[in-house]
Amino acid sequence: MRLDLSQLRLLVLITESRSLTEAARRLDRSPATLSYQLSRIEKNLGQPLFTRAHRRLTPTPFGTTVVAESRSLLAIAESRFDRLRTLSQGGQYRIRMAVSDLILPERVIEVIDQMPKDQRPPEILWTTEVLRGLWDALQAGRADLALGVALAGYPADGTFRLAPIGEVRFHFVMHPNHPLAREPEPLDPEKILRERTVAAIDSSRVLPPGHFGILPGQDLLRVPDQAAKRLAILAGLGVGHLPDHLIREDLAAGRLVIRLTAHSPTEPITLYLAWCEPDPANPPGILGRLLEEIRERGRKRFWFS
């Protein structure tokens, strides 16, 4: 079975026209030529695609399936042609975003949604990364930008641009019925060691994985990201550090409580937007506009408010 794109287009056009005469008129060809081409396609497929009655063509059940698949294949082909056309004109058809699990997905969606439709690339690849996974994605070339990186994980051999997007304050929290919630502050490290800590797994593939707020020798419940970590702590499965902006409502409602410890950060942590140095021969285009939008929102405390 061999069908080219022109044959797929012909089948779709005949279906829409419902007659060879009308399809021939739209293609500026003779009905006899189209009839011959359709006969060859049907012979190639081994089944009739249309029934013929009173000069009208109606797709057979098999023909209906073939035409539906033809439309899908043509849409895929056209999208690939658009990508090649964009690249040939010096444009960018895909933006790959590595986003920290500290950032609410709603914030990212809002930025993407507000991009003008004529400035959006045909494909946006958004992945969630944890801890040094953001730097790993940049360094390995899996991402064009990383949103929410910390300087603590900056790779020594990386060449990246940085722009601050906001500060995050972490609290050591637990369920109000947890045994540590009744202990005097600051909490005794030996008593913390007796309790399970919930930790997000570093998503780095190549760089050495990092960790945050874990005491050596603690029993751990490892979860994929901050959202799962919050749910585990809310369920009383352990204790751990969570960012203020993700748990404000939980703290206000009494679902979580904060306890002071000696190993908790005392100052907020600044997070950054990081991206690869642009190629001087290729202006950043759509990517550059997206980077500027992210930076502008960082100045307005958008990402962690």
Rounded to a whole number, what is the distance in angstroms from the first to the last CA of the chain? 58
Residue 6 pLDDT > 50, yes or no?
yes
Using an 8 Å Cβ cutoff, are 159 and 277 in contact?
Answer: yes
pLDDT exceeds cutoff 50 at 280: no
Predicted TM-score (pTM) of the model is 0.69
89 vs 94, residue with greater confidence = 94
Q: Do the Cβ atoms of 303 and 165 come closer than 8 Å? A: yes
pLDDT band at residue 266 under the 50/70/90 scheme? confident
pLDDT at 187: 95
Would you state the pLDDT for residue 92?
A: 58
Rounded-to-integer distance, Cα 273 and Cα 222, Å: 26
Tell me: the pLDDT tens digits for 90-149?
A: 555 678 899 999 999 999 999 988 887 766 666 788 999 999 999 999 888 889 899 999
- Tokens 């051999």 correspond to 157
- pLDDT of residue 193 exceeding 90, the answer is yes
Dist. CA 191–CA 180, nearest whole Å: 8
Q: Does residue 226 carry a pLDDT above 70?
A: yes
Structure tokens at 239: 């204790």
Task: Please report the DSSP string for 199-268 in residue order.
Answer: EEPP--SSSPP--SS--TT--EEEESSHHHHHHHHHTTS-BEEEEHHHHHHHHHTTSSEE---TTS-SSP
Q: What is the pLDDT of residues 30-69, one digit of tens each?
A: 989 999 999 999 999 989 999 988 778 899 999 999 999 9
* pLDDT of 185 strictly over 90: yes
Query: Rounded to an integer, what distance in angstroms lies between the CA atom of residue 226 and that of residue 105?
Result: 12
Task: Point out the least confidently predicted range of 81-85, 185-189, 251-255, 266-270.
Answer: 81-85
Say which residues have a Cβ less than 8 Å from residue 237's Cβ, sequence separation at least 6.
196, 198, 221
What's the DSSP call for residue 278?
A: P
pLDDT at position 281 over 50:
no
Residues 59 and 200: their CA atoms lie apart, in Å, by 55
Given a contact cutoff of 8 angstroms between Cβ atoms, the answer to whether 181 and 259 are in contact is: yes
Which of helix, strand or coil describes residue 139?
Answer: helix
Domains of the chain: 5-88 (1.10.10.10), 94-167+270-299 (3.40.190.10), 170-267 (3.40.190.290)
Residues 6+ apart with CB under 8 A from 164: 270, 271, 272, 273, 298
Sign of CA dihedral 234, 237, 240, 243: negative
Residue 97 and residue 120 in contact, taking contact as beta carbons nearer than 8 Å: no
Average pLDDT score, the chain: 87
Residue 208 CA: distances (Å) to CA of 102, 132, 205: 20, 8, 8
